[in-house]
Structure 1
Amino acid sequence: MQTQRMIEALQEVFIAADERDWERCRAALADKVFLDYSSLSGIPAQELSAADIVTSWMGFLPRFKATHHQLGNFSVQDDGESAIVKCYGTATHFFPTASGQNVWAVVGTYEAKLARWKDGWKVTALRFNLRYQDGNLALAEIAAVE
């Protein structure tokens, strides 16, 4: 039962982001989160406030007409008060273009650390490990100007 709640806590971050429910997304994160997307962005890993993370995503994800994060193949290690959840992840970003190259897909794995709070599990660290990208790799730039 707790394992499923841990998985759902991680999923909530991405489902809420795809639905642009920023309050729900923020609520799934601890106040401070060690975020590492360096394999995708080149930006060094750092501890950020949940508010700063969500604000950044609010400026990026709505550029697209739709995004879809899909997680699977979960493994969970927990000690009752904290947990590490690992999984595969795919993020597709859709924005219609004149060329018909409308999708940018990012594929990799996630490793999340979670902590038990009085109201459930929250993400305290999130690392994305890029495996590959496919589709229109310029889609984020195109969506930003249109």
Structure 2
Amino acid sequence: MERFDVIDTCVRMAWHADQRQWAELAEVFADKVTLDYTSLDGGEPVTLTPAQIIDGWQAVLGGYAATQHLLGYPLVALDGDTASCTAPFQATHLKSDDTSWTLGGTYRFELARTDDSWRITAVVMIAGWNDGVR
């Protein structure tokens, strides 16, 4: 059951972002989250609050007419009150002019157990390929 709860938390991150359900999205994150998108954009990983993540994602995702982030075949490792979940992903970003940008690769999530749920403490996105114009 714990393995399912970890996977559900990670899937809900993608679902709520795509559905623009910002309040629900905040509930999947710990108080501080390390985001590492350096494989796509360079730079350094950042540590943000859920509100900071949502502000950034609203700005980025708001530039697209729609997005769809799909996670496949998750591998979960449980270690007491921490867990990791690694899954391949494909993310399609549809623009208002009907062009799209699709990105594929791997997500690695780190999670911590709270009193009532699992919360994401880190997200590492490893870009593998992309198609279209960002």
User: Is 1:132 aligned with 2:129?
Assistant: yes
Residue 47 of structure 2: aligned partner: 47
Give CA-to-partner distance per residue, 1:73-97, whole Å, 9 cap, x none.
Answer: 1100011311010000111000132
How many residues are matched? 134
> What SS does the aligned partner of 1:63 have?
coil
Q: Give the share of equivalent positions with the same residue, in percent.
A: 34
Shift of 1:136: 2.1
Separation in structure 2 between the aligned mates of residue 111 and residue 10 of structure 1, nearest angstrom: 10
Partner of 1:64: 64
| Deviation by residue 1:2-59 (Cα, 9 ceiling, x = unmatched) | 1011000011111000000001111101010011001112231021111111110011
**Distance in 2 of aligned mates of 1:46 and 1:96:** 30
Structure 1 unmatched ranges of 5 or more: 138-146
> Which of structure 1's runs of 4+ aligned residues deviate more than 3 A?
none
Structure 2: give runs of 5+ residues left out of the alignment: none
Please give the alpha-carbon distance, in whole angstroms, between the structure 2 residues aligned to 1:63 and 1:96: 9
> How does the TM-score come out when normalised to structure 2?
0.96
Aligned twin of 2:95: 95
Structure 2 residue identity aligned to 1:24:
E
Q: What aligned pairs does 1:12-31 form with structure 2 within 5 A after superposition?
A: 12-31=12-31
Give me the whole-angstrom Cα distance separating, in 2, the residues matched to 1:43 and 1:62.
Answer: 23
- In 2: Cα distance, 1:66 partner to 1:119 partner: 32
Structure-1 separation of matches of 2:73 and 2:116: 26
Tell me the distance in 1 between the aligned counterparts of 2:12 and 2:64: 20
Partner of 1:141: none
- Work out the CA distance in 1 between the residues paired with 2:65 and 2:12: 20
